[in-house]
């Protein structure tokens, strides 16, 4: 009898628990290309040329996605940052590979870049986590909440 009364509450709790897992966005996932294409024009403008990405991390949680990307030129060539509009930052510690953190939001028209940070001195995502009230699982691989 008690189980019968508790069952509706347990069924409501299961989706809430499942929501605390971010999903990787691997190659072949239908969201991967739209996510990368959403940030591509910004980085093309900032680097003065075509951009491809090495994907270090790419996860999705509900209508948000987070990635750590390594911008590159076609043929996996590194970007010569001293030849871009970001040349003034080349001397900063950690800037050599231009690792870029990106936060996207899914809207009715597709994925939109909410925030990005190119080679931040400290991770940008903790501020984004607070600003958008997002779980840590979106930002840190292997974390569950």
On whether residue 16 sits in a domain, the answer given is no
pLDDT for 39 beyond 90: yes
pTM of the model: 0.83
Domain residues for the domain of 50 are 21-138
The predicted model gives 88-108 an average pLDDT of 90
> pLDDT category, 97, cuts 50, 70, 90?
confident
Q: Does any domain span residue 35?
A: yes
Given a cut of 50, whether residue 7 has pLDDT beyond it is no
65 occurs within a structural domain: yes
Residue 2 lies in a domain: no
Per the structure, how many domains does the chain have? 1
Residue 145 forms part of a structural domain = no
Whether 8 is covered by a domain: the verdict is no
pLDDT tens-digit series, residues 105-119: 999 999 999 999 999
Helix/strand/coil for 117: strand
- Positive or negative torsion for Cα 139, 117, 103, 65: negative
Position 121 scores a pLDDT of 87
pLDDT value of position 59: 97
Does residue 125 contact residue 139 with C-beta atoms inside 8 Å? yes
- The runs of H, that is alpha helices, within the chain are 2-18, 32-47, 125-132
Is the residue at 11 inside a domain? no
Query: Tell me: the pLDDT tens digits for 49-83?
Result: 999 999 999 999 999 999 999 999 998 899 999 89
Indicate whether 6 belongs to any domain.
Answer: no
């Amino acid at each position: 009898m008690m189980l019968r009364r508790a069952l509706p509450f347990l069924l409501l709790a299961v989706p809430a628990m499942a929501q605390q897992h971010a999903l990787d966005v691997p190659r072949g996932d239908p969201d991967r290309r739209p996510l990368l294409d959403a940030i591509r024009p910004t980085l093309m403008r900032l680097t003065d040329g075509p951009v491809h990405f090495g994907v270090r991390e790419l996860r999705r949680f509900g209508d948000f996605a987070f990635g750590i990307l390594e911008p590159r030129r076609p043929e996996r060539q590194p970007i010569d940052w001293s030849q871009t509009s970001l040349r003034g930052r080349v001397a900063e510690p950690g800037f050599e590979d231009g690792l870029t953190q990106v936060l996207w939001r899914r809207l009715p028209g597709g994925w939109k870049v909410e925030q990005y940070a190119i080679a931040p001195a400290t991770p940008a995502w903790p501020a984004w986590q607070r600003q958008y009230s997002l779980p840590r699982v979106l930002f840190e691989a292997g974390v569950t909440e």
